[in-house]
Amino acid sequence: MPFDKTSDRTIFTQRESEARSYCRGFPTIFTEARGSELFDAEGNRYIDFLAGCSSLNYGHNDPDMKKALIDHLTGDKLGHALDFHTDTKAEFLTTFQDKILAPRGMDHKLMFIGPTGTNAVEAAMKIARKATGRTNIIAFTNGFHGVTMGALAATGNGYHRGGAGMPTQGVTRLPFDQYANGVDSVALLDQMLSDASGGVDAPAAIMLETVQGEGGLNAASAEFVRGVEKVARKHGALFIIDDIQAGCGRTGTFFSFEEMGVSPDLVPMAKSVSGMGLPLALVLVRPEYDVMGPAEHNGTFRGNTHAFLTATVAINKFWSDDSFQRKLADRAMMLTTALDEVSGMVEGAFLKGRGLMQGVDVGSGELAERICKRCFENGLVIETSGSEDQVVKVLAPLTTPDEIFREGLNILISATREITANK
């Protein structure tokens, strides 16, 4: 029978693996997307506060990126090129060097790997191990670094680690900033590494997210991040900041660590680095740690030519000066104000996160799920995060017009009011 796109979802349950996830919370068939809006097969409009889990920071189908991609395709330019030299890659590297690295005083090289964030983390961990001759990686509670075996070992979530089917290894986990009341996590980290009987092997690297996206929007203080870097330097470990979800402007600056006074050795990036949601991942590597030999870490799709193109357009369009960054600060204030209103409706609720990566911890996954479900019924796509999915998380495209942003926030406020009134 032909597929009826307006109502027939049976093909998904019949043929798609049970591993599917996001679609379970949004039971419709999406067919179009523009900017910060989604449309389904029945003509319903939704405001997007998920943005491909921060893969669409610049919105859906940015017209300049779309035009460049269409011109590329119709001009018979390369689509797949392994890691050949291409004009498209050269333009991306030059633009990234001139507009991103040089203004920030960074001398990192770019290592292109498979097209997912977890692959970027895998590569960073392998680089650190090869560069130091050590095997242990220190990660933190509630960190999420991916679900392939190496990165999964650094991921805190027990549900995801349970999917491995075997023990994960090579990672020591210590408490993140403010994880335990009264515990100085940096001092504890240093003490355990300094004590010959501390039980923690000398690490190849210490890895963290400045804002733990999937872990519940736990935002590290600048003091904590600087302290961790200092401990890493003291003990001969590389310092890795996983900027896959928090980077590309999500926290207000291109890199989430820019205003923290640190200089990571390795920076895994993916998600919005392509600008348009196309698969692209990379690791920024300080030259002295560029130790991988030819194809020692490789992948058939290391370097998506189409993504290089749209990434170049995104950087030129949004990061050539500081005007876009200033707009992000204004929009973050708008978000904080709205979330304050949401938290005031739920006893014990509180704000979490930073920049345009904020949310409200409402205390229970059941309540957060009900709020998000009501939001969807009223035309807003929004998700949860946290150890118990208890955080209602806003990841709207950074380019969302103010009127649509307010409309989406009002839907969230109204949904919270309705759900809490009917408890």
Q: What is the CATH number of the domain that holds 326?
A: 3.90.1150.10
Alpha carbons within 13 angstroms on the beta-carbon side of residue 30 total 19
Same domain, 185 and 55: no
Helix, strand, or coil (residue 267): strand
* pLDDT (0 to 100) of residue 1: 46
Does 1 reside within a domain? no
Nearest-angstrom CA–CA distance, 293 and 146 = 24
Number of structural domains found in the chain: 2
Same domain, 19 and 81: no
Residue with tokens 């204030």: 333
In 231-339 the beta strands, taken as DSSP E runs, fall at 238-241, 266-269, 282-285
Which CATH number fits the domain that encloses residue 309? Answer: 3.40.640.10
Residues 6+ apart with CB under 8 A from 65: 58, 275, 276, 309, 310, 313, 314
Same domain, 228 and 101: yes
Q: To 5 degrees, how large is the angle CA 30–CA 35–CA 39?
A: 20
Does 3 reside within a domain? no
Same domain, 335 and 277: no
pLDDT tens digits, one per residue of 332-368:
999 999 999 999 999 999 999 999 999 999 999 999 9
Residues 6+ apart with CB under 8 A from 343: 349, 350, 351, 360, 362
Does 268 reside within a domain? yes
Residue with tokens 């960190």: 143
Nearest-angstrom CA–CA distance, 178 and 189 = 13
Same domain, 264 and 118: yes
Same domain, 83 and 208: yes
* pLDDT (0 to 100) of residue 167: 86
From residue 270, alpha-carbon distances to 68, 90, 264, 290 in Å are 21, 19, 17, 19
pTM (two decimals): 0.96
Write out the two tokens for 331: 């929009």
CA-wise closest residue to 219 among 257, 190, 173, 270: 257
Residue 272: in which H helix or E strand, if any? none
pLDDT tens digits, one per residue of 35-51:
999 999 999 999 999 99
Write out the two tokens for 344: 């005031």
* pLDDT (0 to 100) of residue 201: 96
Nearest-angstrom CA–CA distance, 96 and 11 = 42
pLDDT tens digits, one per residue of 148-159:
888 988 988 888
* pLDDT (0 to 100) of residue 148: 87
Please, what is the average pLDDT of the chain?
A: 95
- Domain final position from 261, 291, 318: 318
Does 115 reside within a domain? yes
- Exposure of 346 by Cβ count < 10 A (0-12 exposed, 13-18 middle, 19+ buried)? buried
* pLDDT (0 to 100) of residue 21: 87
Assess whether pLDDT exceeds 90 at residue 408: yes
pLDDT tens digits, one per residue of 270-325:
999 999 999 999 999 999 999 999 999 999 999 899 999 999 999 999 999 999 99
CB-based contact 237:263 (threshold 8 Å): no
Does 230 reside within a domain? yes
* pLDDT (0 to 100) of residue 157: 87
Same domain, 104 and 244: yes
Nearest-angstrom CA–CA distance, 26 and 212 = 24
- Domain final position from 290, 318, 346: 318
More confident residue, 166 or 387: 387
Using the 8-state DSSP alphabet, how is residue 293 labeled?
P
Give me the percent of the chain exceeding a pLDDT of 90: 88
pLDDT tens digits, one per residue of 219-276:
999 999 999 999 999 999 999 999 999 999 999 999 999 999 999 999 999 999 999 9
* pLDDT (0 to 100) of residue 4: 64
CA-wise closest residue to 240 among 384, 389, 379, 123: 123
CA-wise closest residue to 177 among 136, 133, 203, 209: 209
Same domain, 119 and 158: yes
Residues 6+ apart with CB under 8 A from 300: 82
Nearest-angstrom CA–CA distance, 284 and 275 = 17
Same domain, 175 and 206: yes
* pLDDT (0 to 100) of residue 7: 62
Query: What percent helix, strand, coil does the chain show, rounded to 5?
Result: 40, 15, 45
Same domain, 278 and 134: yes
Same domain, 84 and 154: yes
- Domain final position from 318, 338, 370: 318
Same domain, 161 and 222: yes
Mean pLDDT in residue range 194-201: 95
CB-based contact 211:332 (threshold 8 Å): no
* pLDDT (0 to 100) of residue 5: 61
From residue 269, alpha-carbon distances to 68, 113, 249 in Å are 23, 10, 12
Does 72 reside within a domain? no
More confident residue, 208 or 17: 208
Does 2 reside within a domain? no
Range of the domain at 285: 77-318
Count other C-beta atoms under 10 Å from residue 348's C-beta: 9
The dihedral region occupied by 21, where left means phi > 0, alpha psi between -120 and 50, and beta the remainder, is alpha
Does 297 reside within a domain? yes
